[in-house]
Amino acid sequence: MSIKKNLTHIKSQLPNHVTLVAVSKTKSIADVMEAYNAGQRIFGENYVQELVEKQEQLPKDIEWHFIGHLQSRKVKLIAPFVSLIHGVDSLKLVHEINKEALKNNRVIDCLFQIDIADEETKFGLDEKELYDILSSKEFKNLKNIRIIGLMGMATFTDNQDQIKKEFQNLKTIFDKVVTLTAVEGQLETSNVKLETLSMGMSGDYQIATQCGSTMVRIGSSIFGTRR
């Protein structure tokens, strides 16, 4: 199937309120352009260098999302243009993003990554670490970063029940934080307004949308398998 057909098929499966991020990592400029010409404007990459090169070469109305694990020293490379950073998982990284956003006279939207998987290899905060950041004074004072949601990855498994439980867990945390950050005197802070729940990839996006995802990150089902 062509990239265009794959996109059309996936879009027909997604509820209207769910945003599709086309994950183009390792894929060529020509592949990205094929998706672009089919109307796709949001793309996700997880290597900084690759993202920077593609951003330079491709149309400027593309919204680039960084979905990988971001090292603090590389933030400056994407800060001028990135539209959403999905995998924020430390206060150190938050500070760095805020600093580079300020230099570029921008406010950068981010998602906190929550570790919901039953695997050692996945990055992310646990619930307590999340609350610790949200309630810290130094975080509340940062004006050039805006937390607009949470992101998570389920365990890589065929066990659908387990995947579902993990996504439900993330949705529960999301709802809790939405409530807490809306109440004065609790975790309310002007740089947090949760509206995006980024969960679901090629293998599990249908479960994810059933569990309340508002943003799915899909690569291989659009562009074919990666080498």
Least Å distance, CB 102 to ligand PLP, is 27
Sign of torsion over alpha carbons 27, 14, 119, 87: positive
Contacts of 209 (CB under 8 A, 6+ apart): 14, 15, 18, 200, 216
Q: In this chain, which stretch among 92-100, 102-110, 179-187, 217-225 interacts with ligand PLP, using CB under 6 A?
A: 217-225
Q: Which of 32, 52, 67, 82 binds ligand PLP (CB under 6 A)?
A: 67
217 interacts with ligand PLP by CB under 6 A = yes
Rounding to the nearest 10 degrees, give the CA dihedral for residues 11, 29, 197, 104: -140
Q: Which of 46, 55, 191, 209 binds ligand PLP (CB under 6 A)?
A: 46
| Cβ atoms of 119 and 156 closer than 8 Å | yes
Both tokens of 136, joined, read 């810290």
Q: In this chain, which stretch among 1-9, 33-41, 76-84, 200-208 interacts with ligand PLP, using CB under 6 A?
A: 200-208
Q: Which of 11, 25, 76, 164 binds ligand PLP (CB under 6 A)?
A: 25
Nearer to ligand PLP, 139 or 174 (CB): 174
Least Å distance, CB 170 to ligand PLP, is 14
Nearer to ligand PLP, 142 or 199 (CB): 199
CA 221 to CA 205: how far, in whole Å? 11
Least Å distance, CB 105 to ligand PLP, is 28
Residues 133-162 as x/- pattern, contact with ligand PLP by CB under 6 A: --------------------x---------
72 interacts with ligand PLP by CB under 6 A = no
215 interacts with ligand PLP by CB under 6 A = no
CA 42 to chain centre: 11
Both tokens of 213, joined, read 């995802």
Least Å distance, CB 115 to ligand PLP, is 13
201 interacts with ligand PLP by CB under 6 A = yes
CA 153 to CA 80: how far, in whole Å? 27
CA 7 to CA 32: how far, in whole Å? 12
**Strand, coil or helix: what is 34?**
helix
206 interacts with ligand PLP by CB under 6 A = no
Cα–Cα distances (Å) from 15 to 12, 141, 187, 219, in that order, read 8, 36, 31, 18
Backbone dihedral region for residue 114 (phi beyond 0: left; psi -120 to 50: alpha; all else: beta):
beta
Find the residue with minimal CB distance to ligand PLP.
219
Q: Which residues contact ligand PLP (rule: CB under 6 A)?
A: 23, 25, 46, 67-68, 153, 201-203, 217-221
